[in-house]
A = this chain, B = another copy of it.
Amino acid sequence: MSAPVLSSLVNHQVRLASRPVGMPTRENWHFTTEAVAEPEDGGVLLQTLALSLDPAMRGWMNEGRSYIPPVAIDEVMRAGGVGRVIASKSPQFAVGDTVSAGFGVQQYLRLAPGEFKRNGIFKIDLRMGSLTQWLNVLGMPGMTGYFGLMDVGQPQAGETVVVSGAAGAVGQTVGQMAKIKGCRVVGIAGGQAKCDWVVQELGFDACIDYKAGPSAVREGLKAHCPKGVDIYFDNVGGEILDTVLARINRKARIVICGAISQYNATTAVAGPKNYLSLLVNRARMEGIVVFDYADRYHLAIAEMASYLKDGRMKSKEDVVQGLEHFPEALLKLFNGENFGKLVLEVAPT
């Protein structure tokens, strides 16, 4: 490939303008441009190809203590992604290499060698999975689902695993991994199309459409989990968490991965009223943050790439095109409109 004329490139960026109250709006963002510069000695210049849009982004927009610092006002919005090395003064990366990195919501990223480690940049192999699969099952959501299920949930063959956000990025991985481990798997998702897909395409044993009515989850759990719930992998929080807590078995494990129903709440988060079910059932509720497992990502990636190859694992991505559509694209997560892992395609791949 011919080297691009760097001086002709303009980096379009999306920055956090203000902290949202409730659902983010276009006013919470501002769009900037910057000139693109040569990498410094030992550094690289990357072009963003696709970005991962994740529920966790909503949390990064808030002020205050969390598992990572918030995005600062006027900072480029944090986002993981996949892209290409377009200029390199690093012996580790060659022009044309495909990489996963913390790109941010922008078209280009210039990294000094001292930033590699903190950024988390690494080369990806497109023979193991497609570019968008590297944002999905082989990316952060896949790692979250894998380690949340395997390390925190500790599934045993024959157990019943329930996962909310079943058609989402994390949910896909959790449900398929649980099937591979010999569990009965019941998904919870919004809408019949998602439910049909996780059952027919991903092989879940059943899926409950939580939008089907006010008692849909309660009735669905009763029908589809005749032996109770051993593991609940929770991506949503709120009422669904409470409903599942009422049906857990002794020594059940509740993996707290997210609470998307609560992220835009302008009142206090709804705590699980049925938490005393943990006492009655000697059960455990435990949080997972994927970064804790970074030293084992390569093992999970290798395992899941083998499942992608032999067809035991499938993936679905919902791709929105164009950096300028970032604000609206993000909202699809909170409206439940995305069908599969939400990806923002920033450049044609």
Which 6 residue pairs are nearest across A and B when measured between Cβ atoms? A271-B271, A279-B287, A278-B287, A284-B286, A271-B273, A271-B272
One digit per residue, 1 when the CB lies within 8 angstroms of any chain B CB and 0 when it does not, for chain A 256-297 equals 111100100000111111111111111111111100100000
CB pair B292 A287 closer than 8 Å:
no
Output the nearest chain B residue to A268 by Cβ-Cβ distance.
Answer: B273
Copies of this chain assembled into the complex: 2
Which residues of B are found within 8 Å of A282, using beta-carbon distances? 286-289, 292
Within the complex, the shortest CB–CB distance from A220 to chain B, in Å, comes to 20
Indicate whether A256 sits within 8 Å of B271 (C-beta atoms), given known contacts A285-B284, A289-B280. Answer: no
Structural contact, B287 and A281, CB atoms closer than 8 A: yes
Most-contacted residue by chain B among A66, A271, A274 (CB, 10 A): A271
Q: Answer whether residue A317 sits at the interface, using C-beta atoms and an 8 A cutoff.
A: no
- B residues in contact with A196, CB < 8 Å: none
Q: Does A205 contact B (CB under 8 A)?
A: no
Quick one: given A269-B273, A273-B269, are A279 and B292 in contact (CB under 8 Å)? no
What residues of chain B lie closer than 8 Å to A288, measured between beta carbons? Answer: 279, 282
Does A242 interact with chain B (Cβ within 8 Å)?
yes
Count residues on chain A whose CB falls below 8 Å from chain B CBs.
Answer: 33
Q: Which of A276, A278, A280 has the most CB of B within 10 A?
A: A276
- Nearest neighbor of A258 in chain B, beta-carbon distance: B279
Cβ-defined contact, B268 with A271, below 8 A: no
> Are B285 and A289 touching (Cβ within 8 A)?
no
- Chain B residue with Cβ nearest A272: B271
**Residues of chain B contacted by A269 (CB below 8 angstroms):** 273-276
Residues 140-175 (chain A) with a chain B CB within 8 angstroms:
none
* Complexed CA–CA distance, A331 and B287 (Å): 37
Task: Choose among B66, B67, B272, B287 the residue that contacts A272 (Cβ–Cβ < 8 A).
Answer: B272
Residue from B274, B284, B289, B292 within 8 A of A271 (CB atoms): B274
Residues of B within 8 Å of A259, CB to CB, are: 276, 279
